[in-house]
Amino acid sequence: MVSDAGDWRADRVIVAVPPLLASRIAWDPLLPPQQDQLFQRLPFGTLMRCVAVYDTPFWRAEGLSGIGLLRGGSPIREMFDNSPPDGGPGVLRGFLGGKEWRKWAHRPAGERRGAVLRSFAQVVGDRAYDTVDYVEQDWTAEQWTRGGPTSVAAPGVLTEYGEWLGRAFGRVHRAESEFSPTGTASWTAPSAPAGTPPPNSCIRADRDQ
């Protein structure tokens, strides 16, 4: 493997970047055409995470969970209580994605913040405006993700190319979240704890040697 950070040699390689980004690797030899076509047809969605921080999770004292599913023109469609276990500070997290991202991502930051807090206030009340901090993470602007939360396959992609999902390419094995047998867009799929066995295809290949 050759990169700006250095060169490495190994018996096997496990690739765990989004499929669209995997298609942009300079492969030598080239990927099989079907696998390359599959990767090009699995773009990420558009997603931004919006986080409001408070002195305390005040909504809990009012018997509220801080979890909400919003519709009716709200830019935030789902929100969660992301406060630490010790109860302080209070943190509300919401996601702005899809057509709402396209509507709001390029508007002034202050205007977008106000819209997000209005969404939070629908669930926990007007104290949602009394933040001590507010943070946004736009994953479309990240070089190594370019969106989120997971790849989106258009109709027909999986029926035409699905057999190439997770298929090893020589000594290169796949561990993208999209190819997990237990569910996509989760930390457990691409980022298993230390000591977790490698992909099954890698284990089988080693046994065949």
Q: Which two tokens stand for residue 13?
A: 């390689």
The predicted-structure confidence for 118-146, as pLDDT tens digits, reads as follows 999 999 999 999 999 999 999 999 888 88
Residue 4 confidence (pLDDT): 87
In angstroms, the CA 17 to CA 42 distance is 12
pLDDT averaged over the chain?
Answer: 85
Q: Which two tokens stand for residue 164?
A: 């190439």
Residues of the chain with pLDDT under 70: 181-209
In angstroms, the CA 56 to CA 171 distance is 51
The alpha carbons of the chain give a radius of gyration, in whole angstroms, of 21
Give the chain's end-to-end CA distance (angstroms, integer). Answer: 22
Domains of the chain and any CATH numbers:
2-43+150-208 (3.50.50.60), 47-141 (3.90.660.10)
Q: Which two tokens stand for residue 21?
A: 């980004």
Residue 113 confidence (pLDDT): 97
Q: With contact defined as beta carbons under 8 Å apart, do 78 and 94 qualify?
A: yes
Q: Which two tokens stand for residue 194?
A: 């230390």
